[in-house]
């Protein structure tokens, strides 16, 4: 079975992963494997370790590296592609088709002089954070396994090498469409759009209106996704067009992080010097990326370009209202209020301003409010009670929206450091907590707590 079924060959290169010296399975997602319909003993099989390490094929499948372009920090790069990743399998499951991709599995024709490898730390970071996103109920790619390679890679320092196996409905990105559009390949665009509709959507029309339908629904998914990110204090860190999946899943966890002390301009990525991808910039960047996607689809929307531009503009104008609706509903639910009112945007802005000025922890503020405590200043407390209109806050709603546990940066960094030394206890504990992040666990208060000043992490790295 070819992983790029229904796609012209221009979108991929058939290339095998580069074998590694001494693969060892160090993290496995049994629940995800079961959901994919894999056998109970799948991880114990020698052929599984071979497939997950790039030392052998996934039975009956041909590995490929996908081609794509992208705007990286706003700068156009005509050819990017999977420089250290291989799609090794497409699985038919009760929930549809899912792809398995290896990350750090060796050089490809798109490597651009890179070594094609990955360090253990960033691969474990993606495992932890993607499991947390799944636990929060936010659409995401999922980590299936991490394998150490027995080799070393050189980034900021010498680090142990590793390969991540991740699962997604589709790895097609805005940048994949840009790759075809930049080559004026209209038939390629059509094939790519149909491929993505079949992989990631359902209920779409059969005629040519399906392309506008795809644009409208991709916009709607991204509007909700970004709102969900922001409601848990998540900062993606690298929202380039090649890191936005058309499926609406969170993809490419590089220098991502969750806020501790709230500030709307918070940035963690060591390379985001100008704050392009700060917490409060994410809606605008998503719209910018979606505008690039809409530009790609223009030849499919209408033969008359002026009419196509009008259709695209009307679709894009729906993004911010949709985002605001999801964000306001989410934030008010965090405050125990289910019904949205026209002036709630102002109350949310006042709440965030208070959090910033008092330098409060974003997650702990809302969780303490859920517990019946009274965080925040007296004037905010009075405004909140006035907004409740004499009713009790919806604590059940708050408990479903306000996690106890997030991937605290200092805890993640400690887990990664200990794992590099061969101790996976903290890593496994974090993953277990984050799979059910809304329930308090005995003797785990340390994983809920905000960092001490000396523990704060101010910069994260992508690991490429």
Instruction: Clarify whether 304 is annotated catalytic.
Output: no
Number of helices (H), then strands (E), in the chain:
16, 12
Q: Which one is catalytic: 82, 242, 260, 361?
A: 242
The secondary structure element, H or E, covering residue 34 is: helix 30-35
DSSP classification of residue 138? -
Cα 79 to chain centroid, rounded: 22
Measured at the CA of 205, the angle between CA 204 and CA 209, to 5 degrees, comes to: 110
Element at 192 (helix H, strand E): helix 186-200
The angle, 0 to 180 degrees and rounded to 10, between the axes of the packed helices 186-200 and 174-181 is 160
Q: Which long-range contacts (CB under 8 A, 24 or more apart) does 134-139 make?
A: 134/435, 135/403, 135/434, 135/435, 135/436, 135/437, 136/228, 136/232, 136/403, 136/437, 137/228, 138/225, 138/228, 138/229, 138/232, 138/250, 139/221, 139/225, 139/228, 139/247, 139/248, 139/249, 139/250
β-bridge mates for residue 72, sequence order: 75
Beta carbons within 8 Å of 124's beta carbon, 6+ residues apart: 27, 146, 162, 415, 416, 419, 427
Compute and round to an integer the Cα radius of gyration of the chain: 22
Backbone dihedral region of 320: left (phi > 0), alpha (psi from -120 to 50 degrees) or beta?
alpha
DSSP class of residue 9 equals G
Q: Which residues are part of the catalytic machinery?
A: 242
């Amino acid at each position: 079975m070819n992983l790029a079924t229904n796609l012209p060959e221009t979108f991929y290169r058939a290339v095998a992963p580069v074998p590694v010296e001494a693969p060892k399975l160090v993290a496995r997602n049994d629940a995800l494997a079961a959901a994919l319909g894999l056998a109970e003993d799948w991880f114990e099989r020698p052929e599984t370790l071979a497939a997950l390490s790039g030392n052998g094929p996934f039975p009956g499948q041909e590995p490929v590296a996908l081609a794509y372009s992208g705007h990286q920090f706003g700068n156009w790069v005509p050819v990017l592609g999977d420089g250290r990743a291989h799609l090794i399998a497409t699985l038919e499951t009760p929930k549809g088709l899912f792809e398995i991709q290896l990350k750090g599995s060796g050089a490809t024709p798109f490597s651009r002089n890179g070594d094609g490898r990955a360090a253990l730390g960033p691969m474990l970071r993606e495992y932890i954070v993607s499991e947390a996103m799944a636990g929060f109920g936010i659409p995401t790619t999922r980590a299936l396994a991490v394998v150490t390679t027995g080799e070393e890679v050189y980034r900021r320092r010498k680090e142990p090498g590793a390969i991540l196996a991740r699962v997604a409905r589709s790895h097609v990105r805005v940048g994949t469409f840009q790759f075809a559009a930049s080559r004026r390949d209209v038939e390629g665009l059509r094939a790519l759009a149909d491929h993505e509709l079949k992989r990631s959507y359902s209920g779409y029309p059969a005629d040519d209106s399906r392309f506008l339908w795809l644009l409208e629904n991709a916009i709607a998914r991204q509007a909700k996704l970004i709102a969900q990110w922001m409601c848990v204090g998540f900062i993606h860190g690298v929202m380039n067009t090649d890191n936005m999946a058309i499926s609406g899943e969170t993809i490419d966890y590089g220098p991502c992080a969750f806020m501790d002390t709230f500030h709307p301009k918070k940035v963690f990525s060591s390379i985001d010097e100008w704050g392009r991808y700060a917490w409060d910039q994410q809606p605008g960047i998503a719209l910018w990326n979606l505008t690039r996607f809409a530009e790609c689809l223009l030849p499919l929307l209408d033969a008359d370009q002026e009419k196509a531009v009008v259709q695209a503009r009307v679709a894009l104008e729906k993004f911010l209202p949709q985002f605001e609706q999801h964000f306001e509903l989410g934030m008010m639910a965090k405050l125990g209020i289910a019904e949205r009112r026209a002036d709630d945007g102002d109350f949310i802005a006042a709440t965030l301003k208070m959090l910033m000025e008092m330098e409060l922890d974003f997650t702990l503020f809302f969780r303490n409010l859920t517990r019946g405590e009274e965080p925040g200043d007296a004037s905010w407390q009075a405004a909140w009670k006035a907004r409740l209109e004499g009713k009790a806050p919806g604590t059940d709603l708050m408990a479903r929206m306000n996690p106890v546990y997030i991937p605290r940066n200092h805890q993640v960094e400690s887990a990664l450091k200990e794992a590099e030394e061969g101790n996976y206890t903290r890593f496994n504990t974090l993953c277990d907590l984050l799979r059910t992040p809304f329930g308090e666990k005995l003797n785990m208060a340390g994983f809920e707590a905000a960092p001490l000043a000396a523990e704060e992490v101010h910069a994260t790295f992508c690991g490429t």
